[in-house]
Every structure is written in structure tokens, then in C-alpha cells.
Structure 1
Amino acid sequence: METAPILRRLAPDLGAPPIPAPWYAEIPAIAQVLREGWDLSAATVLVGDNGTGKSTLVEACALASGTGPEGGSRGSGFSTRPSESDLWRRLVVERRAGAPRRAFFLRAETAHSFYTYLEDNPGARPEPVFHEMSHGESFLALVGERMRRPGLYLLDEPESALSFHGCLALLARLHTLMASGSQVILSTHSPVLAALPGARIWELGEWGMRPCAWEDLDLVRGWRGFLDEPARYLRQVLDGA
């Protein structure tokens, strides 16, 4: 039986003061959430092309859960340059009663700076020196260190550091977390990570956002087509260059 999600729903805050033309309201998926709200599952995967709002939505979930916008645990003071939207302030978060408060946000684009923050602010328990590892090794080590107990785990495009086998290792770890009662919210361009068992997949695009089966995703169809006949894809790209 699927565990009830820690974050059940993001609903529009009808009492929030209006903001003149916020940039994110022009993104169809985010405009849809601001109109209709968004029901979350024990595992939620967001896929879509660049600029469709995946990272902005994961960031809003992270901020609503008390993590920093650039990554870290609840209450983390890590920040390099404030650039996050105020989308989370336009939403009302519905949490499961009695749910774990633990939360951790892994954001690929700020991971290098986050490692420096950890070195400068060591905890009571020694941690690996992430800067001394390869990019992919450090991601998997961070997941192993910070994603242990039941909680809410948010990941923004973690495949940027991972090989095929690294993606499989992360997939296995996320599946174990789900079995322990954790909730996972993940944005990705990887068909491997999008195949997380038990996850509800949302495809984002010019239509907004819609649930979609893995095999019907544009992401999966595109990769299948390329791997089946790369020369045809390359001809189209190189002839148009």
C-alpha cells in the first residue's frame, strides 16, 4: 500500500496580495498550479523541456518545506545569490498530519557551492570531503549521507552529474527511501530516473502539466528514436546548422 505523501497538495492562496505580472505566471504549468493547485504523490516526477517550470516548482516545494532554495536541509543557511521566485508564497501547503519534518533538497546547479558551505560549517558527525570526489561520486555520497531516514527529499535534475549506472544507483536509493515512508519530488531529463517505480509522472509543456505514462513521454520517445537511429537525428541537426 502506498504511503500517504508528506506534502499532500499545493493550493493557490486566494488571500495572497496580487503581484503585477510575475514572470513565472507566464509559464503554462505554473499558471495551471496557481489556478487549480497540484496534488502530490508519495513519489512525483516532473519531466519536460528546458523552461517549462520543473525547477521552479521543485524549488517552491523546497521553500515551502523550510529548506534553502539552493539546497540543504530544513533551516539551512546556504545561499550564494538570491534568485528564487516567490511562488511558494502564493501557495498554501497541505501536509499530512504527524508526518516527518525532515527535508533535504539536492539542487544540481548549486552543488559545488553547497559542498563549500558544508566544509565551512561542519556538523557534529564527520562527512566525506565532497570536493575531493568526482562530480558523480559526490552526488551519490551526498545522497547516502543526507538521505537516510524517512522524510521529504527533493531533487532538481540530479542526472547532470551521473552516468547511466549512477542514475540506476540513485534510482535504487530513492526506491528504498519510498519503502521507508519517505516522499520524493524529482525533476529530471533522464528516462532512467523518470522510471522510478511507483512515481506519478507529470509532463510539462506548452499545454501546462499533465499526468503521463512513462512510455508515452516525449522524453522517452525521443531517446528511443535517437538510440534506434542516431544517424537520422544527426542528419536533421547537422543539415540545419
Structure 2
Amino acid sequence: MRFAKTPVRHIGEDPHEPLPRNEWPATLAAVRQLLDAGLDLGPATVLVGENGAGKSTLVEAIAMAYGLNPEGGSTGAMHRSRATESALANSLLLARNPGAGRYGYFLRAETMHGFFSYLEDNPSTTRADAPFHRMSHGESFLSLAEDRFRGGGLWILDEPESALSFTGCLSLLAVLRELLADGGSQIILSTHSPLLAALPGADIYEVGGWGLRPATWDGLDLVRNWRSFLDAPQRFLRHL
């Protein structure tokens, strides 16, 4: 019997640690759907949707359930500033693929400054890190992804476009596409960027009041809205 090389094949609720449906974040439709029905994972999963829909709550909890630091880093990172994460991770059960790599990395743009300080205070004994604090936000983010995302593992990114320019997003797409081509890597990405949502081969889910809705890139509200705005920005601006 052959098993997939990717780390996680399914996410569901731990029957021994159920999350009350009347308590946040189970009150979010996307979280409730994940707990009730579970979610099968392929090599790449992209979550898109408006602020407050639950994208970051989901990816943060998945990262923690996998053993990753909630403020970014690998399974060995210990950086913490202020605990704001939900209790969702305690109620998730990840079905792992036998023989797959157990390494992973979580990158979230909103906590990168503190995480860079942590890396600076806890330097690697086997390699020298780039001078992240002396680089631009986008340059440091890409440098870290290129350096840490190697070999098989689970790579989770939460709204990385906030650190990146248009060309920076394209560069990150190139890194992610190369990881998927090599096999053994698995990507979970939440984004507001139509560029990053175009990750080749990804399963796309639109997150909203309906829960998690499978979608195509062309069918995303995100893509339609950007196309409409770029075609006629004044049509939008006069209604502000």
C-alpha cells in the first residue's frame, strides 16, 4: 500500500476534546463546518475571504495542532509575546500520513518583527541567519521563506501579502511552486491576494458566513472585485 508523502491528509474535531458550538470560535461558520464535517487536505490549500470570516483563526489553530509556534516559526520555536490564540487547536485532530515528514514552518506577517528578534537572540548553531532587521519587511519575509522552506514538511502562511509587493508575491509563488514540484511538501495559505490565490494546483476555499465553500480562481469574489476595480477605479471611489 502506498501512502501520500504530504504530512496531513485530514483535519477534524478530536472527539475527546469537543469545542462547544455556542462558544467562539465555533460560532464562526467556517470553524463550525471544519469541526462538524472535517476537511481533507491535498498538497496545497488556499483560504480566501473577508476579514473576520475565520481564515487566520483556522490556519493558526492548524499550525498549533501540528506543533508549530502560534506566533511563527518551526516546531522548535519558543517565541511568545502575548497569547491571543483561540482554544480551537486543542479540539483539532490531524490525521497524518505514515512516513511523511513531520517538520513544518508557520509564517504570519503580523508577528514577524518579534519573531526576527527571537531569531536574533537565539542564533542557529549550524548556520548564520540573514540580518532580518536591517532588511525591508518584504525582503526579510522572502529571505526567511527561501531559507526555511526546504525539503518535505507543512508550510503554513497567514496573509503574507501584507509584507510583499506585486513582484514579491510573484517571488513567493515561485518558492511555493518549487516546493510542490519537489514532492513531500504541503502548503496551507490564507490570503487576500488574487496573485497568491492563483497558486497552481491548490484547492481553493472561499470563507464566509456560509462556511468553507470550494471555489475556482475565476469564480472568487476577490478576483471579480479586483478586476472590476482595476477596470474602472473611479466607479468605486465615488461611492466612498
TM-score (normalised: structure 1): 0.94
Report the equivalent of 1:90.
Answer: 91
Closer, same or farther in 2 for the Cα pair 1:155/1:20, shift >3 Å? closer
Runs of 4+ in 1 over 6 A off after TM superposition: none
User: CA offset at residue 18 of structure 1?
Assistant: 5.2
Q: 2:160 aligned with 1:158, yes or no? A: yes
> Residues 12, 86 of structure 1: CA spacing in aligned structure 2 closer, same or farther, 3 A cutoff?
same
What is the DSSP-based 3-state SS (H/G/I as helix, E as strand, rest coil) of the residue aligned with 2:105? strand
- 1:47-66 aligned at under 5 Å gives the runs 47-66=48-67
Q: Is the 8 A contact 2:9 2:95 kept in 1?
A: yes
Q: Calculate percent identity across the aligned residue pairs.
A: 57
State how far apart, in whole Å, the 1-side matches of 2:180 and 2:87 are.
29
How far apart are 1:33 and its partner, in Å?
A: 0.7
SS at 1:106 equivalent: strand
Distance between the aligned counterparts of 1:84 and 1:38, measured in 2? 21
Amino acid in structure 2 at the alignment position of 1:166: G
Paired with 2:68 and 2:101, the residues of 1 have a C-alpha distance of: 14
**Residue 75 of structure 2 corresponds to which residue in structure 1?**
74
Gaps of at least 5 residues in structure 1 are none
- For the 8 Å contact 2:157–2:190, the answer to whether it is kept is yes
User: Hey, what does 2:132 align to over in structure 1?
Assistant: 130
Displacement, 1:22?
2.3
Inter-partner Cα distance in structure 1 for 2:32 and 2:21: 14
Aligned to 1:212: 215
Q: CA RMSD in A?
A: 1.2
Question: Shift of the alpha carbon at 1:221?
Answer: 0.4
| TM-superposition CA deviations, 1:44-81 (whole Å, max 9, x none) | 00000000110111111111111100100012101111
Q: Is 1:120 matched up with 2:94?
A: no
1:9 matched residue in structure 2: 10
- Match of 2:12, SS? strand
Match of 2:24 in 1: 23
Scaled by the length of structure 2, the TM-score of the pair is 0.95
Q: Which amino acid aligns with 2:222?
A: L
